[in-house]
Each structure stands twice: as structure tokens, then as C-alpha cells.
Amino acid sequence: MSTNVGPVDRIEEVRVTQQSGVEMRQVVTENVNARKRQTLQRVSALVGFFFSVLEGLIGLRILFKLMDVNPNNAFASAVYNFTGLFVAPFNSLMGNPAAAGGRVLEITSIIAIIVYALVAWAVIRLLWLVFYQPSARSVTTYEVDQSPRVG
């Protein structure tokens, strides 16, 4: 037997079992918002994963530039091309100091990592502020002795 209690945010189910003269009732109340919270956790994890991968690739870009990796290498080229799109807004912020041998410390990429980490944090916090609804689940068990009383 399942009944909705209140405004569709709770589902209450009563389970009745009888064994050797004892009736046991179990009332299970589930807060539907728990499902929404799980979805919100998954979306937050997905956002965090995307930004972590992006920050890791920008970190690789910094290391590659610092180590003067061959930009014609397929992997290095793919990292430079992908991260170039995300580092571009910061390129005119300041110059990047060059060292001997063509090595470059891309400070703009370091700034990009910091900014994207803050953006990821803000997006995840905003998701939780907008969509989070506390949830609860409770189980109540009642036992009723229905055996004949000997008097």
C-alpha cells in the first residue's frame, strides 16, 4: 500500500506482515528530494571533472612550454590547440617571461588555472544554492501482538 503524504515531496509506504499471531507494520517514508540531491551531486561531479581535466591540460601546457617541448609533436600540438582556446582570454593580461633556450614560463596560463578553479567552485556552489533541498528518510516499525490472551 503506497500513499502520498503532503505536497509530493514525500512518499509513504506501509508494509504489513503477519507471522505466528504477531502483526508487524513497517511505515517507510521517503523524501523524494533525495533523488534530486543525487542528481545534483552527479551534475556537480561532472562540472568538477570537466574543470579538473581542463586545469590539468593547462598545467601540461605550462610544463611543455617550460621544458621547451617540440610543438610539432602530435600530443603537444593537441594540448596547445585545445588549451589555446581557454588561455586566449588571458594572453593580453601580461607578458610571459622567456628563459634561455626558448623556454617560457606562461604566467597567463597559471592565472587561467586559478580563474578556472574559481569558476568551477562558483558554478558548483551556485548549483547547490539554487537546486539543493534537504532530504530525509525515516522508517517506523510497529508490532501488534494478536495472539489470543489466556486469562
pLDDT at 96: 74
Co-location of 25 and 74 in the same domain: no
pLDDT digits (tens, 9 = 90+) for 53-94: 999 999 999 999 988 888 899 999 999 999 999 999 988 888
Which helix (DSSP H) or strand (DSSP E) does residue 103 occupy?
none
pLDDT at 36: 80
Co-location of 79 and 116 in the same domain: yes
What band does 5 get if pLDDT is binned at 50, 70 and 90? Answer: very low
Question: CA-to-CA distance for 83 and 31, rounded, in angstroms?
Answer: 43
Co-location of 125 and 141 in the same domain: no
Model's pTM, two decimal places?
0.67
Co-location of 52 and 113 in the same domain: yes
Question: CA-to-CA distance for 137 and 32, rounded, in angstroms?
Answer: 9
Instruction: Tell me which of 1 and 146 has the higher pLDDT.
Output: 146
Co-location of 57 and 83 in the same domain: yes
pLDDT higher than threshold 90 for residue 114: yes
Domains contained in the chain, number: 2
Co-location of 17 and 77 in the same domain: no
pLDDT higher than threshold 80 for residue 14: no
Give the list of residues 6+ apart from residue 53 with CB closer than 8 angstroms, or none: none
Question: CA-to-CA distance for 24 and 17, rounded, in angstroms?
Answer: 5
pLDDT higher than threshold 90 for residue 33: no
Co-location of 13 and 42 in the same domain: no
Co-location of 108 and 38 in the same domain: yes
Co-location of 43 and 111 in the same domain: yes
Question: CA-to-CA distance for 18 and 94, rounded, in angstroms?
Answer: 77
What band does 1 get if pLDDT is binned at 50, 70 and 90? Answer: very low
Q: Which domain holds residue 10?
A: 1-32+135-151
